Amino acid sequence: MIERFSGPGTMPCMHNDTITPIDRAWQERALCAQTGADFFFPEPGSSVREAKRICGMCEMRTACLDYALSHDERFGVWGGLSEKERLRLRRTENG
C-alpha cells in the first residue's frame, strides 16, 4: 500500500492507493529459475543455443516472452528469443 499526501496549498488529507503486484508466479515455475542465469545472459558473442533449448521445453515460455516484450527487456534470452529476435518481433508488430 502506498500512502500519498495532497500537494502544497491543498486541504491536507491522505489518500491510500493499493498497487496490485505484477503476477510473476510463472517465474517460479520456469525452467530457467532452476538452471542459472549464465545460459540466459551469456557473455557477448557466446552461444544462446542452450538457453533456447531450455526455453523450448518450458511451459512458461509464452508468459516469459510476453513479460519481456511488455517490460522492454533488452538483454538475455526471454521466451526463447534473443535480444535481436525480440527487437525484430517488435518491429514487425509495430509495422
Q: Determine the straight-line distance between the first and last CA of the chain, rounded to whole angstroms.
A: 39
As a whole number of angstroms, the distance between CA 87 and CA 8 comes to 43
Whether 32 has a binding-site annotation, put simply, is yes
Whether 64 has a binding-site annotation, put simply, is yes
Whether 13 has a binding-site annotation, put simply, is no
As a whole number of angstroms, the distance between CA 41 and CA 22 comes to 23
Q: Which residues are annotated as a binding site?
A: 32, 55, 58, 64
Q: Which residues are annotated as a binding site for [4Fe-4S] cluster?
A: 32, 55, 58, 64
